[in-house]
């Protein structure tokens, strides 16, 4: 995801020369929020697999906290970018982020997770199942 974010940001950097800095900065804001959301997903999902949490209360709280944190992060980033795009006078003319590129910067996580999971499913399904030993006469019947 970081590679996708950097490649697209590098592709948008020439817009700085045309004084269209809201597009690359919006992408950068969305990408940073996306990476923070992914880190929270990875960090908090580890608690779901802990063996020492017998009642699973800690894991439930951590999972709910992770989901809440991601939703709040997405909402805050989109609200800030929306105000910068549609109502910059609320921030005294501060219009550094474009709403649409910020929203687009939040999307690569979905595609990366989808394609990595698709690859894992394909990789697991293509591996040979079972052992190489041939069944004996009694096991065939």
How far apart, in whole angstroms, are the C-alpha atoms of residue 22 and residue 28?
A: 10
Q: How many domains does the chain have?
A: 1
pLDDT higher than 90, residue 3: no
Look at residue 92 and tell me whether its pLDDT is greater than 80: yes
pLDDT of residue 127: 56
- Tell me which residue has tokens 């939703």: 71
Instruction: State the Cα–Cα distance between residues 58 and 47, nearest whole angstrom.
Output: 8
Q: 């096991």: which residue's tokens?
A: 139
Residue 135 in domain: no
Whole-angstrom distance, CA of residue 81 vs CA of residue 95: 8
Secondary structure, 3-state, 42-59: HHHHHHHHCCCCCCCHHH
Q: Please check the confidence at residue 122 and state whether its pLDDT lies above 70.
A: yes
d(CA 10, CA 29): 14
Q: 82 lies in which domain range? A: 2-112
- The verdict on residue 81 lying in a domain is yes
Mean pLDDT of 100-109: 91
Q: Give the model confidence (pLDDT) of 46-82 as tens digits.
A: 666 666 655 667 667 777 777 888 899 999 999 999 9
Give domain status of residue 99, yes or no.
yes
**Phi/psi at 87 (nearest 5 deg)?**
-135, 60
Assigned domain for 134 exists: no
**Residue 106 belongs to a domain:** yes
97 in a structural domain: yes
* CA–CA distance, 5 with 96 (Å, rounded to integer): 18
SS3 91: helix
pTM of the model: 0.71
pLDDT for res 41:
80
pLDDT digits (tens, 9 = 90+) for 8-54: 999 999 988 888 889 999 999 999 999 998 888 877 776 666 666 55
Between 135 and 81, residue with greater pLDDT: 81
pLDDT recorded at residue 1: 82
On whether residue 67 sits in a domain, the answer given is yes
pLDDT value at residue 116: 82
């Amino acid at each position: 995801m970081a590679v996708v974010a950097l490649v697209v940001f590098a592709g948008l950097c020439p817009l700085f020369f045309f004084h269209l800095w809201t597009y690359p900065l919006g992408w950068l804001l969305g990408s940073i929020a996306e990476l923070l959301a992914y880190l929270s997903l990875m960090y908090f999902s580890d608690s779901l697999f802990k063996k020492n949490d017998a009642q699973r209360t800690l894991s439930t709280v951590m999972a709910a906290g992770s989901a809440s944190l991601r939703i709040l992060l997405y909402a805050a980033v989109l609200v800030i970018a929306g105000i910068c795009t549609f109502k910059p006078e609320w921030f005294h003319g501060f219009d550094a982020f474009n709403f649409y590129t910020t929203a687009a910067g939040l999307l690569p996580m979905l595609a990366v997770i989808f394609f990595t999971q698709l690859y894992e499913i394909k990789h697991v399904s293509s591996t040979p199942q079972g052992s190489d030993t041939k069944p004996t006469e009694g096991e065939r019947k």
